[in-house]
Structure 1
Amino acid sequence: MTHGLVRAGVDVRLGVDIDPVCEYPYTANNKAKFLLKSVEKLAVCDLERHYRKNGIKLLAGCAPCQTFSTYNHKATESDKRWWLLLQFSRLVDELSPELVTMENVPRLIEQNVFDKFVANLEFKGYSVAYQVINCAEYGIPQQRNRLVLLASKLGPISLLTPQEFGRRPRTVKEAIGDLPPLKAGTSHPNDPLHQCSALSEINMRRIKASKPGGTWRDWPRELVANCHKKSSGKTYPSVYGRMTWEDPAPTMTTQFFGFGNGRFGHPQQDRAISLREGAILQSFPADYEFTRPGEQVCQKSIGRLIGNAVPVTLGEIIGTSLLSHVSDATKRAYRSKQRERREVRSFPSRGMT
């Protein structure tokens, strides 16, 4: 989110997270400080001192999405993460920024905690707009539906449309088609992030039997996992699949580097996609640093960061929308003052009662 906001021209000063692995890539790629702290323990004084004096304050929050994801069928209100959005609401109350934005999975819109969040913003005088968008429509090479909320004390606000943002849809081939080929379990000597997981003997046979855009239902029966042979497993075709060159990628998750975790098989090569390919599909620029120079790349940690991330381009869309809104609000305020001056001058200097 931060890198996208920065690319749009927003002056981001601070990022807060509870994952220590975030710190190096956050500070290395953004001119911002990092604070390792839970939002539950975050005080308004932790934030206030980082804002520019007399500037327009923005508070951006991305509550954990796993609780509300369609992949999680067991999450309930007893999950502590369910209520973290209200901690973000608390900070909005205490800080009273002019602008607020939030991104999450679409299912959040169905929950009472989201209704409470929106109601509190409106009660505090914010104009609120939210919608579910498909990132692919904005030129992100990935089918990723996300709920985006914008709120402002400066007046009505809205997210730019794909046409206003000026990006066209992109395919997997356009995004990663020119990367050097890899064999399963190897990495490229000139790019440590361009590495992919090893495959077991049976998974190698499975991926060789997989067609782009197909499912495990295309395999010979001896390759089908026992859990999928049961009637309860037949409704899960979106695992052990290959992506297609001609379409955007499926939603990147924190497990995208594993062939069996989704439709993350390379369209042509017999392997799962690499960390670098996942980062590109999440619209990270090629020069984005995830590890210190010379540091060994941990697939699980970096895969988690990439899969959990707000796509950089989505952050840029949000940032561009916010800056456009501020510009329009400033122009409205200027025109209003000009009208007031003209009206004052139109009064006669004498004879007023």
Structure 2
Amino acid sequence: MIRKSLQAVDLFCGIGGLSFGLESAGISVRAGIDIDPHCHHAFEHNVSGRFLERDVTSLSGTELSKFFSEDAVKLLAGCAPCQPYSTYRRASIGLPKKREWGLVEKFGALIKEVCPDLVTMENVPPLADQPVFSSLLSDLEGYHVDWDIVEMKYLGLPQTRKRLVLVASRLGPIELQFDEQKPRTVRDVISQLPAIAAGENWPGDPMHRASRLSALNLRRIKASKPGGTWRDWPADLLATCHSKPTGETFPSVYGRMEWDRPSPTITTQCFGYGNGRFGHPEQDRAISLREAAMLQGFPENYEFLPSGGQPSFASFGRLIGNAVPVPLGKAIGELFQKHVMALNPTPHPSTRAT
């Protein structure tokens, strides 16, 4: 039996969470494509593929096809950034307009142009209720498709994070089924990191840095209990918003994580103590960028910056919060490896399946 190599191209690759996971499962990632230059070092230092700084909307299927070997089983991944569709933003500015789904539409168009053997995507659960998702499924005509809303703490991610995950294959029937793992905890992942104070960074790791706290917020976090809420505070620490009806619906704001549970969903604003339950379980500060990355499944030695570089909270908070968690990438890679090994296919020529 001749086993064909499985090669991937990762659209909207970000800092490489999906690609790193795929390579951990033995898949060769040939390229990662993203418009953000901050992704370049992290991707190429940790992933074997080439990073291409491009707007995905400007790409053609012909360009993408050149990254694959002729005799490879070809995987196209397209995890469009989900920040415009987040629950927080939809609550604050309303449902996204049709044009905001354009990156998902472009992914569907590239699938039809490239005709890869395998396809995967990850996105926020509300995408499933949008017309653009039905259009994407139509673009996958000729593929076997399965998708579901996946709770990633059961994939070994130390975080509660639900995402829509889709897999598709031209090679044969495929099922989105992962081996369930025991959820990991905050303690399992970040407890060994050196203690730092708010506003400090650890000299040996520029990513292990925590944002500053005002004097008032320092008092607030000292009054916060792991897993508790601002309702635990004395009255003089309450903010004006806490007395409003809308404030009652956000009890986790200014909260601390708990050591022996998974973290809450890591967002693009996870470096800010007032942005959610992002307080360290026992140190009087918000979690550091390194801790946020590790809670997204990146290993402690994952290199985000060249030597001497200093990360900005805004840029790297966004990249870490938007990243595809590494354990999901690995689980998808293992699923595709089993699928290809079971079928032992001869790769299709670049024509549409019927």
Query: Does 1:286 pair with 2:303?
Result: no
Distance (whole Å) between structure 2 residues aligned to residue 161 and residue 78 of structure 1: 33
Residue 38 (structure 1) aligned to one of 55, 64, 72:
55
Look up the match of 1:203: 217
8 A Cα contact 1:136 1:169, kept in partner: yes
* 1:75 shift after superposition: 4.6
Query: Does 1:147 pair with 2:161?
Result: no
The answer for unaligned runs of 5 or more in structure 1 is 334-353
Query: Does 1:159 pair with 2:173?
Result: no
* 1:188 shift after superposition: 1.1
Look up the match of 2:261: 247
Look up the match of 2:242: 228
Residue 273 (structure 2) aligned to one of 259, 271, 281:
259
Query: Does 1:277 pair with 2:254?
Result: no
What do residues 1-56 of structure 1 show as CA deviations (whole Å, max 9, x unaligned)?
A: 11111111111101111111111111111111111112211111221111011111
Distance (whole Å) between structure 1 residues aligned to residue 302 and residue 184 of structure 2: 20
Residue 68 (structure 2) aligned to one of 51, 72, 93:
51
Look up the match of 1:304: 318
3-state SS of paired residue (1:133): strand
Amino acid corresponding to residue 35 of structure 1 in structure 2: L
Residue 3 (structure 1) aligned to one of 14, 20, 32:
20
Query: Does 1:68 pair with 2:82?
Result: no
Distance (whole Å) between structure 1 residues aligned to residue 158 and residue 48 of structure 2: 27
Look up the match of 1:342: none
8 A Cα contact 1:160 1:317, kept in partner: no
- My pick for the range that moved more, 187-196 or 146-155, is 187-196
Match runs of 1:101-140 below 5 Å: 101-121=120-140, 123=141, 125-140=142-157
The answer for unaligned runs of 5 or more in structure 2 is 1-17, 347-354
Amino acid corresponding to residue 207 of structure 2 in structure 1: L
* 1:224 shift after superposition: 1.4
Amino acid corresponding to residue 49 of structure 2 in structure 1: A
What's the TM-score, normalizing by structure 1? 0.89
3-state SS of paired residue (1:186): coil
What's the TM-score, normalizing by structure 2? 0.89
8 A Cα contact 1:62 1:103, kept in partner: yes
* 1:68 shift after superposition: 2.4
Look up the match of 2:349: none
The root-mean-square deviation of aligned C-alpha atoms, in Å, is 1.4
Distance (whole Å) between structure 2 residues aligned to residue 300 and residue 169 of structure 1: 29
Distance (whole Å) between structure 1 residues aligned to residue 324 and residue 226 of structure 2: 26
Query: Does 1:96 pair with 2:115?
Result: yes
Amino acid corresponding to residue 314 of structure 2 in structure 1: K
* 1:58 shift after superposition: 0.7
Look up the match of 1:350: none
* 1:149 shift after superposition: 0.1
Bigger Rg over Cα: 1
* 1:185 shift after superposition: 0.8
Instruction: Summarize the Cα distance change of 1:101–1:245 in structure 2 as closer, same or farther, 3 Å threshold.
Output: same
Instruction: Summarize the Cα distance change of 1:77–1:230 in structure 2 as closer, same or farther, 3 Å threshold.
Output: closer
Distance (whole Å) between structure 2 residues aligned to residue 155 and residue 218 of structure 1: 55
Distance (whole Å) between structure 2 residues aligned to residue 211 and residue 280 of structure 1: 23
- My pick for the range that moved more, 143-152 or 176-185, is 176-185
Residue 333 (structure 2) aligned to one of 294, 304, 319:
319
8 A Cα contact 2:62 2:113, kept in partner: no
Amino acid corresponding to residue 37 of structure 2 in structure 1: P
Distance (whole Å) between structure 2 residues aligned to residue 66 and residue 297 of structure 1: 20
8 A Cα contact 1:25 1:290, kept in partner: yes
- % identical aligned pairs: 51
* 1:297 shift after superposition: 2.4
* 1:181 shift after superposition: 1.0
Residue 193 (structure 1) aligned to one of 207, 210, 226:
207
3-state SS of paired residue (1:20): coil
Instruction: Summarize the Cα distance change of 1:254–1:126 in structure 2 as closer, same or farther, 3 Å threshold.
Output: same
- Which consecutive segments of 4 or more residues in structure 1 shift more than 4 A? none
8 A Cα contact 2:85 2:96, kept in partner: no
Look up the match of 1:28: 45
Look up the match of 2:14: none
* 1:159 shift after superposition: 2.7
Distance (whole Å) between structure 2 residues aligned to residue 237 and residue 77 of structure 1: 26
Amino acid corresponding to residue 238 of structure 2 in structure 1: V
What do residues 295-334 of structure 1 show as CA deviations (whole Å, max 9, x unaligned)?
A: 1222222222111100111110111111111111128x9x
Amino acid corresponding to residue 143 of structure 2 in structure 1: Y
3-state SS of paired residue (2:344): helix
8 A Cα contact 1:105 1:147, kept in partner: yes
* 1:83 shift after superposition: 2.4
